[in-house]
């Protein structure tokens, strides 16, 4: 598939590509070489394409535009808007300064745009045009913006944090070994006071808790979880004791705090893992 020859009045792709390459730091004397390397063509062929004396295949244009970190829609928008300059800038949104790239309309352009840029202390700032129209200082200095590009950078997936509570170290090690895989960060606690300190300062996304720890129930600790900054965390309760008093208190906790369990020890640890995986999968 071939595009029209770019020396037509409709499109001046070679000229526009040259402008974009200049804005991306590729000087004019190296632009033909850049096109040659991207397209794997001869230098004379690359020069003819730049000058508009050789037609472009759509796939070729896409390759060169892509090498300049632009999409085809962005490139054609630059045609339409006759953008002439590219700058690093900051976009002020909700009191945050978000780095971006801006493409300014020609300096003498009279076509009003939704966003404008003002250079303050050698840094370009992006504003809504209507927000600065009453400011005479900004009106003098502003430039209309044809396109704003905010890059969405790669981020690491934040691991879910799980707290384990039990005064039996063998149980802690067994559970931790099973669920401590790539998706979770697991911390173990053998007493209620240490866990409660963490609940207050940095609550977890899920808890696996023995109901009786050193002869004291976890009821108050669970209440503190529900009053923490993560009140909807998953809480799985384990128990190795059977008595009417324990059963009644756990029944109250199930009613008051929406806990899961109790699971009797010795327990099927794989079942605990499946519950945790299912809970977080539901919340993706």
Which residues are within 8 A (CB) of 65 and not within 5 positions of it... i.e. 6 or more apart? 17, 20, 71, 72, 75
Pairing of strands 216-217, 212-213: antiparallel
Mean pLDDT of 163-183: 85
> Is the full-model pTM beyond 0.95?
no
Asked if the model's pLDDT at residue 242 lies above 70, the reply is: no
> Given this model, what pLDDT does residue 240 score?
74
Angle at 56 between CA 25 and CA 16, to 5 degrees: 35
Mean pLDDT of 174-190: 85
Count other C-beta atoms under 10 Å from residue 205's C-beta.
Answer: 20
86-131 pLDDT per residue, tens: 788 998 777 778 888 887 877 766 778 888 888 888 889 998 888 8
């Amino acid at each position: 598939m071939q595009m029209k020859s770019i020396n037509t009045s409709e499109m001046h792709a070679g000229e526009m590509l040259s402008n974009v390459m200049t804005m991306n730091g590729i000087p004019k004397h190296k632009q033909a070489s850049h096109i040659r390397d991207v397209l794997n063509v001869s230098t004379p062929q690359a020069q003819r394409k730049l000058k508009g004396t050789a037609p472009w295949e759509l796939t070729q244009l896409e390759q060169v535009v892509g090498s300049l970190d632009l999409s085809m829609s962005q490139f054609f928008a630059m045609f339409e808007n006759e953008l002439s300059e590219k700058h690093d800038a900051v976009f002020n949104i909700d009191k945050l300064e978000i780095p971006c790239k801006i493409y300014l309309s020609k300096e003498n352009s009279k076509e009003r745009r939704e966003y404008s840029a003002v250079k303050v202390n050698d840094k370009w700032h992006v504003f809504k045009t209507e927000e600065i129209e009453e400011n005479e200082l900004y009106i003098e200095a502003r430039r209309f913006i044809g396109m704003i590009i905010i890059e969405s950078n790669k981020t690491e997936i934040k691991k879910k944090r799980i707290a384990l509570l039990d005064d039996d170290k063998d149980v802690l090690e067994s559970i931790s070994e099973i669920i401590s895989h790539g998706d979770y960060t697991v911390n173990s606690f053998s007493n209620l006071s240490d866990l409660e300190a963490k609940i207050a300062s940095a609550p977890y996304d899920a808890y696996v808790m023995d109901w009786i720890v050193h002869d004291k129930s976890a009821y108050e600790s669970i209440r503190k979880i529900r009053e923490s900054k993560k009140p909807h965390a998953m809480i799985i309760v384990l128990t190795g004791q059977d008595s009417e008093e324990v059963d009644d208190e756990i029944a109250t906790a199930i009613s008051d705090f929406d806990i899961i369990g109790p699971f009797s020890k010795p327990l099927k640890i794989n079942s605990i893992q499946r519950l945790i995986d299912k809970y977080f999968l539901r919340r993706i």
